[in-house]
Amino acid sequence: MTDATVPPAVARPGLFEGDARTRKRNAAERRFRLYGMIAVGAGLFFLVTLLFAIVSNGIGAFQQTSFTLRVEMREDVLDKPGNRNIEDIKAVKTFAYKPLLRAAILREIEGNGIDTPLSGAKIVGFSSDLDKLLSDGAAAKLRNQVLANPELIGRTVEVTVLASSRVDGYLKGRVTRESIARDKNLDAEHLDLVDVLRGAGVVGKGINTAFITGTDASDARPEQAGMGVSILGSFFMMLVVLLLALPIGVAASIYLEEFAPQNRFTDLIEVNISNLAAVPSIVFGILGLAVFIQFMHLPQSAPLVGGLVLTLMTLPTIIISTRASLKSVPPSIRDAALGVGASKMQAVFHHVLPLAMPGILTGTIIGLAQALGETAPLLLIGMVGYIASNYPDGVGAGFLDPNSAMPAQIYEWAKRADPAFYERAWGGIIVLLVFLAAMNILAIILRRRFERRW
């Protein structure tokens, strides 16, 4: 038997100071808390960075540089017979309008007394150094103006035509003198000229409404490209989704929530829906390609097909949210309806459904917003690679004619080689996000305004 050894007393510094171990634990506590703050901060930082990148890169797409020129519509060029016969005027190709624009620029150079090597540029011919200042579409625009109003011939008219994408980039700071050193599309003397003309008020930036209402343009004309047609394409797709997914989704939810017997089949449907919600969107694209295009021979690139694919994709989302809002209607409502003699169907359709409607609409809008931003399935059914340069003729054509959609259009621009299209892509994202934000805000307002708490 040994004497119990008494451990030497630990010197405790006192109640308010804490010993080494306590300090360590407290430090660990503070560190842990700091990690959490860093994580939340990182999340917010990424959000801010993303939004900053979008806005700073995309805001330029909403402005566009254009030239305001006084063009002399020479009769000997545009209407040789001189009798204003529309067929004769149509026979004059776009190419003939180019010299008129060149002459107008030279007149501005002379009128402002500018000293530039470009003042010796030739007016006639296949190409001229002056062409680099203007958009490829400028002559076509002039021609359309004349065709719409032949009275212009013989007069000197003030017209506004788009500048080329490089000049536009120079005014926005995207193109610099260093960057054009290796660029055959524009030279330093052009920039000097643009600087002076800008001072004279011939060149200037303006609000670019054509970006929102206009059509897509080919690779060589980024300054003309707009979102208009693809917005319509998205609109028709969303119409299909709304018309199909809302009724089918609500009907399916009502069945599952109110009428379905507890059996294998119901279980199968439920498992199916929860799994479909997690199937990658590209797989829905494969489904659309195989079933709607290969098997049923529906037209490729049509908003109808896009809408059908997106409907199948959004259905699970809508069903899940609809079931949640049906579930939140208290059983007492159903019991009261049944108690005064309504049938089960009447109780559901007359009482439960109207009360659940705000929740259902909120879920539907959120589902639509998801569908609006979806790109991957659209790639497979051919809504990319199509240059949406024409508005659909009518409602039927809107559903069936080849078209693009907003996200597909953005992807298309991001793939092109000219950096001027990147600005368009970012700008397109701003438009897309504005639509999404509007839809989500609408959903939130609906929920705040009409949602009942039982």
Partner 1 sequence: MPAIWLTLAVLALATAGYVLGRARALTSAGGDSRKLHSLPSYYGIHVFLFTAAPALALLALWILVQPLIIERAVSTHLPERVFSGNADRGLVMSDVRRVANGLDLAVSQGAMTTEYARTVRTELTDVRERLGEVGVAVGSDIGPEVLRAAQNYRSLAARGDLLRSLTIAVLALGGLLVSIIRTTRDFRARNVVEQAILGLLLLSATIAILTTIGIVFSLIFNTVEFFGLYPAWDFFLGLTWSPSFGGGSELGIFPLLWGTFYISLIALAVSVPIGLFAAVYLSEYASPHVRSVAKPLIEVLAGIPTIVYGLFALLTVGPLLMRVFGDGGVGIMQAGTAVMTAGLVMGIMLIPFVSSLSDDIINAVPQAMRDGSLGLGATRSETVRQVVLPAALPGIVGAILLAASRAIGETMIVVMGAGAAARLSMNPFDAMTTVTAKIVSQLTGDADFASPEALVAFALGMTLFVITLGLNVLALYIVRRYREQYE
Binding to partner 1, residues 275-314 (CB under 8 A) = 275-276, 278-284, 286-287, 289-291, 294-297, 312
Nearer to partner 1, 163 or 432 (CB): 432
Encode 91-117: b = buried (16+ Cβ within 10 Å), e = exposed.
ebeeeebbbbbbbbbbebbeeeebeee
CB 302 within 8 A of CB 403: yes
User: CB 433 → partner 1: shortest distance, Å?
Assistant: 7
Query: By CB under 8 A, which span of 118-126, 176-184, 274-282, 330-338 interacts with partner 1?
Result: 274-282
Nearer to partner 1, 194 or 252 (CB): 252
What's the rounded Cα separation, in Å, for the pair 319 and 366? 12
Q: Which of 92, 103, 256, 357 is in the footprint of partner 1 by CB under 8 A?
A: 256
Nearer to partner 1, 33 or 155 (CB): 33
Nearer to partner 1, 220 or 414 (CB): 414
x-marked contacts with partner 1 along 419-448 as a string, rule CB under 8 A: ---x--xx--x--xx--x---x--------
- Tokens 């051919």 correspond to what residue? 382
CB 212 within 8 A of CB 231: yes
Phi, psi angle pair for 176, to nearest 5°:
-115, 170
254 binds partner 1 (CB under 8 A): yes
59 binds partner 1 (CB under 8 A): no
Q: Which of 216, 223, 374, 401 is in the footprint of partner 1 by CB under 8 A?
A: 374
50 binds partner 1 (CB under 8 A): yes
Residue type, 22: T
Nearer to partner 1, 196 or 391 (CB): 391
Q: Which of 40, 55, 91, 438 is in the footprint of partner 1 by CB under 8 A?
A: 40
Query: By CB under 8 A, which span of 79-87, 126-134, 271-279, 329-337 interacts with partner 1?
Result: 271-279
Nearer to partner 1, 101 or 443 (CB): 443
Q: Which of 333, 414, 442, 446 is in the footprint of partner 1 by CB under 8 A?
A: 414
- Angstrom CA distances, 69 to 37, 161, 408, stand at 58, 8, 36
Which residues 315-354 are close enough to bind partner 1 by CB under 8 A? Answer: 315-316, 319, 343-345
Query: By CB under 8 A, which span of 21-29, 88-96, 121-129, 170-178 interacts with partner 1?
Result: 21-29
The site that binds partner 1 (CB under 8 A) totals a number of residues, namely: 85
What's the rounded Cα separation, in Å, for the pair 414 and 433? 17
Nearer to partner 1, 60 or 382 (CB): 382
Nearer to partner 1, 46 or 95 (CB): 46
Nearer to partner 1, 209 or 272 (CB): 272
53 binds partner 1 (CB under 8 A): yes
Query: By CB under 8 A, which span of 53-61, 93-101, 111-119, 151-159 interacts with partner 1?
Result: 53-61
Query: Rg (Cα) of the chain, in Å, rounded?
Result: 33
Helix (H) or strand (E) holding 110: helix 98-111
How far is the first Cα of the chain from the last one, in angstroms, to the nearest whole number? 73
CB atoms within 10 A of CB 260: 15
Retrieve residue 12's tokens. 């405790």
For 172, counting Cβ atoms within 10 Å of its Cβ (0-12 exposed, 13-18 middle, 19+ buried), the class is middle
User: CB 440 → partner 1: shortest distance, Å?
Assistant: 7
User: CB 121 → partner 1: shortest distance, Å?
Assistant: 36
Residues with Cβ < 8 Å from 323, sequence gap 6 or more?
A: 253, 256, 257
389 binds partner 1 (CB under 8 A): no
Which residues 84-103 are close enough to bind partner 1 by CB under 8 A? Answer: none
* Cα dihedral: 292, 298, 299, 304 (round 10): -70
Residues with Cβ < 8 Å from 298, sequence gap 6 or more?
A: 292, 304, 305, 308
What's the rounded Cα separation, in Å, for the pair 224 and 209? 11
Q: Which of 103, 123, 260, 446 is in the footprint of partner 1 by CB under 8 A?
A: 260
- Angstrom CA distances, 156 to 101, 104, 153, 271, stand at 12, 10, 8, 73
